[in-house]
Amino acid sequence: MSESTLRIGLVLPDVMGTYGDGGNALVLRQRARMRGIDAEIIQITLDDEVPDSLDVYTLGGAEDYAQRLATRHLTRFPGLQRAADAGRPVLAICAAIQVLGHWYETSAGERVDGISLFDLTTSPQESRSIGELVTDPVVDGLTAPLSGFENHRGGSTLGDDARPLARVRHGVGNGVGDGTEGVVQGSVIGTYMHGPALARNPELADHLLARALGTDSLAPLDLPEVERLRKERLAVGRRG
């Protein structure tokens, strides 16, 4: 691997990969390589310290016990926090949002301290949110609707230092009744969308890639199959 290789950190796939969210790292690698950019995925497991020198990081969903393991590991090895402080992009999916917040409450009612990359807290909703989720982004650099599959019991309340990723068109989103979905704070983006999210939302993938590469824009990719997937999933959300 050369110094010019884009290094994509797949963080704790052994415990934070319940819903196939490791596919987000694969999407980033493939979209980079299709543009002639060398890219490699660095897997960071519970056996590894978390490096602070990678170019972009992804974390996936998990259940309560796995969340606890991930929280302990990221607290013990705070490389992700240092990377975020340095402005490196991070994508957090579902339970990872909760781990990156100030605290989250488990289904058993226990409150667990997070790592505070997000100014948010998470408590259980009355019922589980399951189904297609379609939203309209409200952050600079994103214009296309976002879609994914949500499956979570947690409801995340954003504090003053955090802002939502999107407004819900169909589905539940953050689950606190304000019509918001996801969270953005600094270079860190969180969403409750599985799918994997970046396979269904190429604009979001390229947004993260551009930031990792230190550029304002990337050469477009002509991928009709991706557009077909997007249209199909958005249509499912409208029918739902």
Which residues are documented as binding site?
128
Residue in 73, 94, 152, 170 annotated catalytic: 94
Q: Classify 199 as helix, strand or coil.
A: helix
Query: What amino acid occupies position 61?
Result: G
- Please provide the average confidence, as pLDDT, over all residues in the chain: 94
pLDDT (0 to 100) of residue 98 = 97
Residue in 73, 152, 170, 194 annotated catalytic: 194
User: What tokens were used for 177?
Assistant: 């009744």
Check whether 235 has a pLDDT greater than 90.
no
Active site residue 73: no
Q: Classify 65 as helix, strand or coil.
A: helix
The confidence band for 234, taking pLDDT boundaries of 50, 70 and 90, is: confident
| Cβ neighbours around 55 below 10 Å, total | 22
Active site residue 102: no
> Which of 66, 67, 50, 54 is CA-nearest to residue 28?
54
pLDDT (0 to 100) of residue 239 = 61
pTM (predicted TM-score): 0.95
- What average pLDDT does the segment 223-235 reach? 87
Sign (positive/negative) of CA torsion 132, 138, 140, 142?
A: positive
pLDDT (0 to 100) of residue 238 = 66
pLDDT (0 to 100) of residue 88 = 98
Question: How many angstroms separate the CA atoms of 168 and 154, rounded?
Answer: 16
Q: What DSSP state is assigned to residue 175?
A: S
Which residues neighbour 183 within 8 Å (Cβ) at sequence distance 6 or greater?
97, 118, 120, 156, 158, 162, 163, 164, 165, 174, 189, 190, 191
Check whether 1 has a pLDDT greater than 80.
no
- What average pLDDT does the segment 74-102 reach? 98
Which residues are documented as binding site for substrate?
128
Check whether 240 has a pLDDT greater than 60.
no
Check whether 2 has a pLDDT greater than 60.
no
pLDDT (0 to 100) of residue 217 = 87
| Cβ neighbours around 17 below 10 Å, total | 20
